Amino acid sequence: MIDQQAIIQVRHLKKTYHMGQQVVQALRDVSLDIGQNEYVALMGPSGSGKSTLMNMLGCLDTPTSGQYILNNEDVSILTDDELATIRNKEIGFVFQTFNLIPRLSTLENVALPLVYAGVSKNKRLDKAYSVLESVGLGDRVDHRPNELSGGQRQRVAVARALVNDPSIILADEPTGNLDSKTSVEIMGLFEQIHNQGNTIILVTHEPDIAEHAHRIIRLRDGLIESDIRNKHIVSALNVK
């Protein structure tokens, strides 16, 4: 039975890769629900299946078998083009390596998803500027990525993820290239975004980063090893 209150419903998800003669079961049998405005951390060692699950949840890949319902739509049966449309509309991505385009300004980088969504130039630049202001970079709109610090570049990446008003923010090791102080600042930004009603799925191997989430799901050998509510949530806001 599908829970209509959940934004994500995954049922018996499996993913098998064929590498030469070898068969790799990246996901063996994963079922979970994630509700609107949840803040979830996905954890697990290398080879646990967390990256494969992230790709599934982000509509970057399709399962070998099983079902993935996103906002009451079965995305596990969609074509590549249909998945691309869902990604652009429903999911905001934040990556460890920022993935900004060097030749574009901060404003243009943030506005890029709106180009693919068919939004007019004036509207997309207005929206991009508004979102940049919301992440504290209203005074950096004309800067290019190489003129920004690592933390500022990640804030640009977060703004780009937010610009389409997605259902889900999917963050893959978002503090992996940042120092400790900047990592806390970025986690504070995610906390603010969550407080505003967004659903956040954070993929990390760092326990101290996962402690900011309200729910921690650990994977091992393609299965969910544990799924717990975090009773000791660490707030990154107001940290000196």
Q: What DSSP character marks residue 77?
A: G
Q: Across the strands, what pairs with 215?
A: 40, 229
Decide if 220 is inside a domain.
Answer: yes
Look at residue 2 in the predicted model and tell me its pLDDT. 43
Please state, in angstroms and rounded to a whole number, the distance separating the CA atoms of residues 191 and 184: 10
**Residue 137 belongs to domain spanning:** 38-46+81-229
Cβ(50)–Cβ(203) below 8 Å: yes
User: pLDDT (tens digit, 9 = 90+) per residue, 154-181?
Assistant: 999 999 999 999 989 999 999 988 899 9
Look at residue 98 in the predicted model and tell me its pLDDT. 87
Decide if 21 is inside a domain.
Answer: no
Q: How far is CA 212 from CA 94, 172, 182, in A?
A: 16, 15, 15
Decide if 54 is inside a domain.
Answer: no
Nearest Cα residue to 239 out of 200, 182, 173: 182
User: pLDDT (tens digit, 9 = 90+) per residue, 9-29?
Assistant: 999 999 999 888 888 899 999
Cβ(98)–Cβ(156) below 8 Å: yes
Is residue 54 predicted with pLDDT exceeding 60?
yes
Decide if 164 is inside a domain.
Answer: yes
Decide if 191 is inside a domain.
Answer: yes
Look at residue 3 in the predicted model and tell me its pLDDT. 46
Kindly indicate the confidence band of residue 238, based on its pLDDT and cuts at 50, 70 and 90: low
Decide if 211 is inside a domain.
Answer: yes
Cβ(175)–Cβ(206) below 8 Å: yes
Domain count, the chain: 1
Decide if 65 is inside a domain.
Answer: no
CATH of the domain at 132: 3.40.50.300
